[in-house]
Structure 1
Amino acid sequence: MAFETILFSITDGVGRLTLNRPERLNSFTVRMHQEVAEALSALEAAPDMRVLLLTGAGRGFCAGQDLADRAVTPGESVDLGDSVERFYNPLIRRLVALPFPVVCAVNGVAAGAGASIALAGDIVIAARSAKFIQSFANIGLIPDSGGTWVLPRLAGQARALGMALTGKPISATQAAEWGLIWEAVEDDALGATVEALLAQFQQAPTAGLAATKQMIRASWLHSLDEELDLERDTMRRLGRTADYQEGVAAFIAKRKPNFQGR
């Protein structure tokens, strides 16, 4: 597949998707949305996927929407809901539904929808120089791409409101302390940290990870009783998988397991 705005590959069950418009801080255009959607279709169709890495090229992760690609003439009314419905909402829904871990490596600024896209990852690791900015307040909008949903759940209402109403940048270290992301690491350690995690997931029992991801993300909608029943049913299903049998056998034999994944 030949792309203009992203870099994409799948090798040995590891997908790598890099937003590649560094001169515009990897901000989204219609073309980028279309190319990312094509890459996600390839990931969804691949039978042996284990993990996806999502990152940005250059000095930024993603600055959200490229406003020059959606210029507004003074006095003209524009339907931003159409853009959200056609592009951003499907992107978030597809990322969180992928049946394997999504690792976001935030190498620089993640602003606007770019911040929300980063936080849609299952594990988010950021360079210490990176910043998360809910910049919508500066142009009279609301945090979209799941921003109003994920921010209060991860950081709490007070911090979510502070980020959304002031547009104040949050450092990677602060984001980790608040629970917005998994880890903040030194800039020169980001690559090695991410590669080690990808290697771990490449050898992991993918079906179990997929079920864990699905259940934790859906748990907001369930009562404790409902969640206990779902845990029972999921444990019953996973207990019949080859990966569970291999995990137990390896534990007893004191050897490294050879998980086959999905």
Structure 2
Amino acid sequence: MTADSVTAPTAEPVTDNDGILTIAISSSAPGNPLNDDALAAGAAALREVARGERRVGVILLKGPGANFCAGGNVRDFASAAHRPTFLREIADNFHAFINALHEAERPVVAAVKGWAAGAGMSIVTHADVAIGGPSTKMRPAYRGIGLSPDGGMTWTLPRLVGAARARQIILTDPVIDAEKALDWGLLSEIVTDDEVDAAALAAAAKIASGPWQSDAAARALLTRSATSTLGDQLAAEARSISALSASPEGIEGVDAFVAKRKPDFGSARNA
């Protein structure tokens, strides 16, 4: 859930440079809770990506403070005039961002510094590449305040860690340290704490320098694989690789391989 009703001024939550759309999803307020304004701006930018109005190859999610995101601002929940109405609005806004993240059909990299709790952990489960440090910790945190998960955690977590472990995590609410998160597939890599942002940016830059259509297609295939039969997945892969072979990036990649040179995917995209 999200977010702060009153936050300290922060840098622009959405930036777009060198094919990387960066979204600072949390506030700089104490604890780094999810920020409604950042979610709204991020969702709008992601919809532009989906419509082809903003050209990027990768999405980088990060927090502006010591934590990736420590969840929602529970004090805001407590002070709401009518909690069910307030929580439904908060969840709907959060879910609009999550839907936009998926509809953008771009690889997602997360710089998971410090805590990723509640909504922050939910967001991490949507990342294709999640980089943390030794101090990174995750926790569902919902049952501790008598609430159930949001942000798609009940959909993504079983796909990442298996149904039995997902149930255990959500129902017993453990603190998951970085090594366990790596072992369970919640993190892709652990670097030193002060290198998390740089390593995540480097991963995003590497993806952004490559074939955008190929990466988007691979991500779509991976997403659908959990609910596809093998036959359906093979058919989808055949359609995808055939279509990409006629794309500018596909043509450039194959021709560069034959010519024994490095492919120039950027020029192919802009041709």
Taking structure 2 as the reference length, the TM-score comes to 0.86
In the alignment, structure 1 residue 57 sits paired with structure 2 residue 79: no
> Quick one: distance in 1 between partners of 2:121 and 2:36?
18
Distance 1:84 1:23, change over 3 A: closer
Distance 1:204 1:116, change over 3 A: same
The equivalent of 2:172 in structure 1 is 166
> Quick one: distance in 1 between partners of 2:206 and 2:64?
24
Give the letter aligned to residue 10 of structure 1. D
> Quick one: distance in 1 between partners of 2:184 and 2:191?
15
Tell me if structure 1 keeps the 8 A contact 2:133–2:196: yes
In the alignment, structure 1 residue 12 sits paired with structure 2 residue 18: yes
Tell me if structure 2 keeps the 8 A contact 1:48–1:261: no
Which residue of 223, 227, 231 corresponds with 1:221?
227
In the alignment, structure 1 residue 139 sits paired with structure 2 residue 140: no
Distance 1:192 1:81, change over 3 A: closer
Q: For residue 200 of structure 1, report the CA deviation from its aligned partner.
A: 1.2
Give the letter aligned to residue 184 of structure 2. W
The equivalent of 2:113 in structure 1 is 107
The equivalent of 2:4 in structure 1 is none
Identity of aligned residues (%): 34
What 5-or-longer segments of structure 2 have no aligned partner? 1-7
Q: More displaced, 184-193 or 142-151?
A: 184-193
The equivalent of 1:69 in structure 2 is 76
Q: More displaced, 236-245 or 91-100?
A: 91-100
Per-residue CA distance 1:93-129 (angstroms, 9 max, x = gap): 1112223211111011000011001211121111221
Give the letter aligned to residue 53 of structure 1. L
The equivalent of 2:236 in structure 1 is 230
> Quick one: distance in 2 between partners of 1:216 and 1:28?
28
Tell me if structure 1 keeps the 8 A contact 2:109–2:128: yes
Tell me if structure 1 keeps the 8 A contact 2:47–2:104: no
In the alignment, structure 1 residue 250 sits paired with structure 2 residue 256: yes
The equivalent of 2:200 in structure 1 is 194
Q: More displaced, 84-93 or 160-169?
A: 84-93
Distance 1:147 1:175, change over 3 A: same
Which residue of 178, 182, 189 corresponds with 1:183?
189
Cα root mean square deviation, aligned:
2.4
Taking structure 1 as the reference length, the TM-score comes to 0.89
> Quick one: distance in 1 between partners of 2:213 and 2:80?
49
> Quick one: distance in 1 between partners of 2:38 and 2:202?
28
Question: Secondary structure of 1:214's partner?
Answer: helix
Tell me if structure 1 keeps the 8 A contact 2:77–2:83: no
The equivalent of 2:31 in structure 1 is 25
What 5-or-longer segments of structure 1 have no aligned partner? none
Q: More displaced, 205-214 or 57-66?
A: 57-66
The equivalent of 1:118 in structure 2 is 124
> Quick one: distance in 1 between partners of 2:269 and 2:207?
10
The equivalent of 1:89 in structure 2 is 95
> Quick one: distance in 2 between partners of 1:77 and 1:22?
25
Distance 1:70 1:77, change over 3 A: closer
Equivalent pairs counted in the alignment come to 259
Q: More displaced, 182-191 or 22-31?
A: 22-31
